[in-house]
Amino acid sequence: MKELNGAVCALVKEAVKASGLEAELVAEDLSAPFRRPCIKVELEESGDALAIRHRVEQTVTFRIYFFAADQYRPKLDNLAMRQALSDAFRGGIPVGEDTVPMDEGLSFTVADGVLTASMGLALDQLYTPGDEEAAERMEELRQNLEVH
Cα 39 from Cα 81, distance rounded (Å): 10
What is the pLDDT, as a whole number, of residue 53? 65
Contacts of 120 (CB under 8 A, 6+ apart): 59, 60, 61, 104
The verdict on pTM exceeding 0.85 is no
What is the pLDDT, as a whole number, of residue 147? 79
Residue 119's SS3 state is strand
Residue that wins the pLDDT comparison between 51 and 103: 103
pLDDT at 14 over 90: yes
pLDDT at 9 over 70: yes
Q: Region 91-95: what's the mean pLDDT?
A: 90
Alpha helices, DSSP H only, in 1-116?
2-19, 75-89
Residues in the chain: 148
Q: Region 33-45: what's the mean pLDDT?
A: 87
Cα 33 from Cα 90, distance rounded (Å): 32
pLDDT digits (tens, 9 = 90+) for 107-127: 999 999 999 999 998 887 766
pLDDT digits (tens, 9 = 90+) for 42-75: 987 677 666 566 777 888 899 999 999 999 999 9
Provide the CB-side half-sphere exposure for 57 (13 A, CA).
7
**Residue 45: in which H helix or E strand, if any?**
strand 38-52
Q: Region 123-148: what's the mean pLDDT?
A: 69
Cα 7 from Cα 148, distance rounded (Å): 62
Residue that wins the pLDDT comparison between 60 and 82: 82
What is the pLDDT, as a whole number, of residue 138? 67
Beta-strand runs (E) in 20-147 = 24-25, 38-52, 55-67, 93-95, 98-100, 107-111, 114-126
Contacts of 126 (CB under 8 A, 6+ apart): 54, 55, 56
What is the pLDDT, as a whole number, of residue 97? 86
